Every structure is written in C-alpha cells, then in structure tokens.
Structure 1
Amino acid sequence: MRIEEHIIFEDDNIVAVNKPSGLLTIPDRHDNQLASLSGLLKKKYDQIFIVHRLDKDTSGLIIFAKNEVAHKYFSKLFESREVEKYYIGIVNGVLPNEKGSIKESIMEHPVVAGKMVTNPRGRASHTDYEVLESFGIYSFIQLQIHTGRTHQIRVHMKWLGYPIAVDEMYGTAQPILLSAIKKKFKLGKYVEEERPILSRLALHAFKLTFTNMQGEKQTIEAPLSKDMQATLTQLRKHKG
C-alpha cells in the first residue's frame, strides 16, 4: 500500500493517517515492520514516534509525532485525557435510548488471551454513545471515549447488548449482507454466492480535537472508509 494515499494532515510536528482496517498500528512479535502503520511511516520519514494506537480491525484516524518534543507533548495530552476522541460505528440491533453513557470497568479476560471483559475489579472506563440513525436490524452510532482501554468500545457495546457489527470476538462474525436488509433480494443469474457488503469490524475512529503545540484548538477528521460508506448507503436505501 502507498502510505501517502492515507495521510490526511501533517505539519512539522505530527502526521495524521486514515488507517485501513486490518493493518496493525505497530509491528507484531514477528517484527515485520512493513506489516504495520508505524513501519510504513518510518520508511517514509526515517523517524516516527507512536502517540496512541488503534485496534488492527478498527479503521480511521491516528496521529504520530515527527520529533521527540512533539512526542512528549502529545503523549501527555492523551495520558491526561485532554484529547476528545470520537468514533462512528454500526451496531447490531436498535438501541432503546438515543443517548447514553457506559462506565463499566474493564480488565483482561481471565482465560482468553487478548480478550477484555467488564469487571468491577478492572480499570475505570467511560464511553458515551449517541444514535445517529436506526435501520431495524442495525444502528449507526457515534461514540466518545473518555478513557483509552484496550477494545473499550467493543467491550462496552457488548455489555450494553448491542455489539459492533462483524465483531467476531465480542459479537458475531456474521458479515453485513444485502439479503438481510433488502426485501425480495435475489442473486444475479450467474452468481452462486452472495458477497458481503461489509465483512470487517464496523468501527471507525472519526475525529480528534486537541490543543496543538501553537496553543490553538485543532480538530482532525478521517473520512469514512469506502466499505462502511457503501454499507450505510445500502442501509439508508432499504430502510424500513
């Protein structure tokens, strides 16, 4: 992939990238640099500093620092929760309330490696949500996270009973199919099997708002990926 196609903002201090779903933020234990976003950026800039992370399967906005001073500044902003972090996603089901706040503590699963669970003994976690549109079997929502726990949104939406769509770990791996939302759906004459309109985690890091190093309020937004945009188009088209 050409990393330049995914850069949405940069200045002397940071570079903001619209990360594709399926790409690691940092190299895995096999240390394959080019299989990660940070590795691709290091190839372009020689030096890059990690400020925060996104799950592999989550698409959307992530920023990296381009020098040590910026790294220290932005790391402190994230650690002190002075960055407003917004996501958008598609969840299974229709939520009973248009807005809500989830404050369930989160900890590592006692048995399953890499999985998280809500538990009073876990770390304090806070997610706000707002329903933007409802489509019967799915809902389109905006979320703001006030803490940054691993898999926080996915765990909290599972707890609420409306997991993020196409989330194998916390919901169901069932992809979003046109046949599930379109009445009188028929396969094409020469098509043997239906292709999903969305077959990956339906979660996108949408917007960050913070005070930049010049003391100015700054907001960066990452356009919704083509697959999620196409899914929303179909959901709207066949609503009701």
Structure 2
Amino acid sequence: MKRNNDYSVIYSDDDIVVFNKRSGLLIAADRYDPDAPRLDVVAEKEFGKLFAVHRIDKDTSGLVIYAKNAEAHKSLSKQFEERSVEKTYHCLVNGHPTWDNLKVSLPLQPDGDDRHRTVVNKRFGKPSKTDFENLGNCGPFSWIIAHPHTGRTHQIRAHLQTTGFPIVCDPLYSGNQHPVLLSDFKRKYNGDTLNERPLLNRLALHAYSISINHPKTNERMSFNAPYPRDMEAVRKQLAKLFKVNPIKDSDSNNEED
C-alpha cells in the first residue's frame, strides 16, 4: 500500500481511487477556507483529474472515494443520492451512554449558526438519519460505531451532540477540548504528567468502511481504512485496559504517518 503524509491508497483502477486520508485535509474546495490543504489537489499530482462524489469532514480521517472519469462520477453520485452506499464510522465519545443501540432521526440544517455548525431545525432542516451502536465504556470514554443513512454536513457530530455524548476533541460540537492522555485513564501512571504528550488531540472520528457497486462492473466492493497512528494508539491502550475494542487486533494495520 503506497503511503505519503496526506493519504494512503486503499484501491485504484481505471475508474475509481479509494484513499485513507489524514485528519485536517479537505476533500474539495471550501468557501470558508479556500487556501486550506486539499486531498484532491494533492492526489491529482499522482492520479490526474479526480471527481469528488462524496465528502467527509476536514477533521475526520479515513475513507474517501473519487471517480477518475465522468462516467464513473455519474454512477457513484447516483449511488450516494439513492443511499445504496453503506458507510461505517468509528468514534470515541466523552461519557457513557446507557443505550446499546440508538436511532437518531432529526432534521439537520448545515451552516445553521454563526459558527457554521449543523443544527437541528425541524422547519428548515433536511431529513437525516444515523444509527449508533455503543460498544462499551473505556474509562472516561466510550467507543461508538455510526452508520449514517444520509450524508448531511457534520451529521454524525451533530446527531451525537443531541444525545449528550459529543465526540472527543470536537472543536465545534464539544465543550470539552481536553486531549486524550494516558494518565487520564491508566491507573498507577508513572510518567511525567507535566510534559506528557497526548495520545490524540484532534477529532476522534474515522471513516472506517464503505461499500459501493463498482461503476463499470456493478460488482459490490467493500473497503476498510486502518486507523491512523494517533487513533490506533488510543485503541490499543483502551483495549488493553478496558477490553473494549472497535476492531479486531488481527484486522488492525495502523498507518505510518
């Protein structure tokens, strides 16, 4: 698997390319931050012109699919519009939900306040649905698996905020910007807490898997994106201490960044 600092290539053929992107990288042009680093601009140096068919948040890491030609772009865009694409996200939240499974169907309005956040708006919001699965408590945190059925901006983040369990280190939807420190949940921590380096200090949301029909062959294809180094470090520590693990260790192949 080819890697650089911005992305790794999960799959590529004449019609599509699937990337595992780093957090902090835009998928396409953003009117609020036109000079921010963009995955399509960086990757086109290697792959030529790319056509965006869906988006994930700049601060989210994980899977992104681009089309390589107009025909593939039309087919993939239709699949996203018809909601035949299956998407799975992994996230770490602050607190301990009491539910095991939760379905959230609340209409969302992107850019709904002065901070450009997505807000629940029953009058102007668009129908939005996310299914959540709570894997269990990990000290001050819980691992959540999210299955969005619609593709609104910040959908998972906004829906989780309404449950009272925002994603760790979310700069927009969580009032708690405390990074993930090993000393916060490991008993008898013997390190220097004054100079401790965070295990993770960015949005703890990862686009882990996606399933589509290939635009040319119509074959159903599924892709998984290994965790980036920071989330993988958190996962390993929490799995060791609390026996809660969103992925099997045998399936883990952490990214080098």
Q: Same fold (TM over 0.5)?
A: yes
CA distance, structure 2, for counterparts of residue 103 and residue 230 of structure 1: 33
Report deviation, 1:110: 4.5
Q: Does 1:179 align with 2:186?
A: no
> Could you tell me whether the CA contact under 8 Å between 2:18 and 2:65 is conserved in 1?
yes
Tell me what 1:50 maps to: 52
Match for 1:89: what amino acid?
Answer: C
Tell me what 1:40 maps to: 42
CA distance, structure 2, for counterparts of residue 58 and residue 68 of structure 1: 27
> Could you tell me whether the CA contact under 8 Å between 1:3 and 1:40 is conserved in 2?
no
CA distance, structure 2, for counterparts of residue 148 and residue 4 of structure 1: 23
Match for 1:181: what amino acid?
Answer: F
Report deviation, 1:186: 3.3
CA distance, structure 2, for counterparts of residue 192 and residue 31 of structure 1: 37
CA distance, structure 1, for counterparts of residue 50 and residue 21 of structure 2: 16
* Worse-superposed segment, 209-218 or 196-205: 209-218
> Could you tell me whether the CA contact under 8 Å between 1:27 and 1:39 is conserved in 2?
no
| Percent identity between the two aligned chains | 41
Match for 1:91: what amino acid?
Answer: V
- Cα 1:66–1:3 change in 2 (3 A) is farther
Tell me what 1:16 maps to: 18
> Could you tell me whether the CA contact under 8 Å between 2:7 and 2:22 is conserved in 1?
no
CA distance, structure 1, for counterparts of residue 211 and residue 57 of structure 2: 20
CA deviation profile, 1:4-27 (whole Å, cap 9, x unmatched): 961110111100000100111124
CA distance, structure 2, for counterparts of residue 173 and residue 157 of structure 1: 16
Unaligned runs of 5+ in 2: 244-257
TM-score (norm 2): 0.86
CA distance, structure 2, for counterparts of residue 32 and residue 97 of structure 1: 41
RMSD, aligned α-carbons: 2.0
Q: Does 1:142 align with 2:163?
A: no
CA distance, structure 1, for counterparts of residue 30 and residue 156 of structure 2: 22
Unaligned runs of 5+ in 1: none
Match for 1:229: what amino acid?
Answer: E
Tell me what 1:62 maps to: 64
> Could you tell me whether the CA contact under 8 Å between 2:113 and 2:119 is conserved in 1?
no
> Could you tell me whether the CA contact under 8 Å between 1:60 and 1:205 is conserved in 2?
yes
Q: Does 1:203 align with 2:208?
A: no
CA deviation profile, 1:32-64 (whole Å, cap 9, x unmatched): 48x210001222222111111111100000000
TM-score (norm 1): 0.92
Tell me what 1:166 maps to: 169
Tell me what 1:217 maps to: 220
Tell me what 1:123 maps to: 126
- Cα 1:197–1:88 change in 2 (3 A) is same
CA distance, structure 1, for counterparts of residue 11 and residue 177 of structure 2: 33
Tell me what 1:228 maps to: 231
CA distance, structure 2, for counterparts of residue 63 and residue 239 of structure 1: 34
CA distance, structure 2, for counterparts of residue 24 and residue 193 of structure 1: 31
CA distance, structure 1, for counterparts of residue 220 and residue 149 of structure 2: 18
Report deviation, 1:136: 3.2
Q: Does 1:114 align with 2:116?
A: yes
CA deviation profile, 1:66-125 (whole Å, cap 9, x unmatched): 011001110111111110111011111111111110001111454324211112121111
